[in-house]
């Protein structure tokens, strides 16, 4: 697989990474550990070198699975994990906790679960409204100086936060949602990332599965699937949003690829420093996603996609009000 660089600090990763959250939570029942380890190693065998996890996934179990899977090939991969969520419910910062000592405690625990002596990319999972971002960036800077962390990242951060953090410790990557059905980052985020030399890691590049074409208004989700709480996945919204999938599907059929591959290839075509991290629990979907890197979209293809989707207004908010309150603006 081709490689891409995130930021100007030399962090090189596969053009497509693997988001590991769904292995342990949010999209139905967690995978058995042995199956999850096989899936992660299968991704590596197919060229993926960038793996995304977080302490809150599980909580904690996802990092342990990723650590077990990648232990034999640790020096050949890039592991990203995250701090900043108040899992214990004691900080009282709208569910956040990025106090310096907490960051240090999380990093030590993550290192143990990941079975490694360093974290390649450490993200602040969500911006803490109480702790100044300069304190957060300064703490990560110290961890980098100590060799426990290699690169600093932010997630769902706004322009002002990005600039303030970057002034203290260069930000290698921002991870936020971006796809053909959530294009808000194009307005202000992508320009500032380009200006500052920061890479972009889109999560949910397939619209939480909707852009694959495998979900419609009649689809039912497991009771533990968080999409049950997402307004954009209400039955009426899914019915309305089918037009977007149909438009992508028509272009995919013309190119003899899948809608998912068009959606991921479109992201790759936007900027050379964009690295999507689709997640899956199925080997065939993993192979499909990885195959997106070989899909060449011509300028005419990109124009056709833009023309097809620009007239479609996606229905439904992407988060519940509680989840939306955690997003930095």
pLDDT tens-digit series, residues 104-118: 999 999 999 999 999
Q: Do 252 and 308 contact (CB within 8 A), yes or no?
A: no
- Is pLDDT at 78 greater than 80 in this prediction? yes
The parent domain of residue 193 ranges over: 3-209+270-293
Structural domain contains residue 324: no
Structural domain contains residue 218: no
| Interval 217-237 mean pLDDT | 93
- Total structural domains within the chain: 1
The C-alpha atoms of residue 189 and residue 69 are separated, in whole angstroms, by 33
Structural domain contains residue 69: yes
The C-alpha atoms of residue 220 and residue 123 are separated, in whole angstroms, by 33
Structural domain contains residue 219: no
Instruction: Please give the structure tokens belonging to residue 202.
Output: 């889109």
Structural domain contains residue 230: no
CATH classification of the domain holding 81: 3.20.20.100
Q: Do 212 and 206 contact (CB within 8 A), yes or no?
A: yes
By CB atoms closer than 10 A (0-12, 13-18, 19+), residue 218 is: exposed
- Is pLDDT at 15 greater than 90 in this prediction? yes
Active site residue 57: yes
Structural domain contains residue 167: yes
Structural domain contains residue 107: yes
Structural domain contains residue 79: yes
From 27, 57, 123, 178, active-site residue:
57
């Amino acid at each position: 697989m081709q490689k891409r660089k995130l930021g100007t600090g030399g962090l090189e990763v596969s053009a497509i990474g693997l988001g590991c959250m769904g292995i342990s939570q949010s999209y139905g029942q967690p995978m058995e550990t042995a199956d999850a380890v096989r899936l992660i190693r299968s991704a590596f065998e197919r060229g993926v070198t960038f793996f995304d996890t977080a302490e809150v996934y599980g909580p904690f179990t996802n990092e342990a699975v990723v650590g077990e899977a990648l232990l034999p090939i640790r020096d050949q991969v890039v592991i990203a994990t995250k701090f900043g969520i108040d899992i214990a419910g004691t900080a009282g910062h709208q569910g956040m906790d990025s106090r310096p000592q907490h960051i240090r405690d999380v990093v030590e625990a993550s290192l143990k679960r990941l079975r490694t002596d360093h974290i390649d990319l450490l993200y602040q999972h969500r911006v803490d409204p109480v702790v100044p971002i300069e304190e957060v960036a300064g703490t990560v800077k110290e961890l980098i100086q100590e060799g426990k962390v290699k690169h600093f990242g932010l997630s769902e951060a706004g322009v002002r936060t990005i600039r303030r953090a970057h002034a203290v410790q260069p930000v290698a990557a921002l991870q936020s949602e971006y796809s053909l059905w959530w294009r808000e980052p194009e307005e202000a985020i992508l320009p500032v990332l380009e200006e500052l030399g920061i890479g972009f890691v889109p999560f949910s590049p397939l619209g939480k599965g909707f852009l694959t074409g495998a979900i419609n208004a009649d689809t039912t989700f497991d009771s533990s699937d968080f999409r049950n709480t997402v307004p954009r996945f209400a039955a009426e919204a899914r019915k309305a949003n089918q037009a977007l999938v149909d438009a992508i599907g028509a272009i995919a059929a013309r190119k003899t690829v899948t809608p998912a591959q068009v959606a991921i290839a479109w992201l790759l075509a936007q900027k050379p420093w964009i690295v999507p991290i689709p997640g899956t629990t199925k080997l065939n979907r993993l192979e499909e996603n990885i195959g997106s890197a070989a899909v060449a979209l011509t300028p005419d293809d990109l124009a056709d996609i833009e023309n097809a989707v620009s007239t479609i207004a996606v229905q439904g908010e992407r988060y519940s009000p509680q989840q939306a309150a955690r997003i930095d603006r």
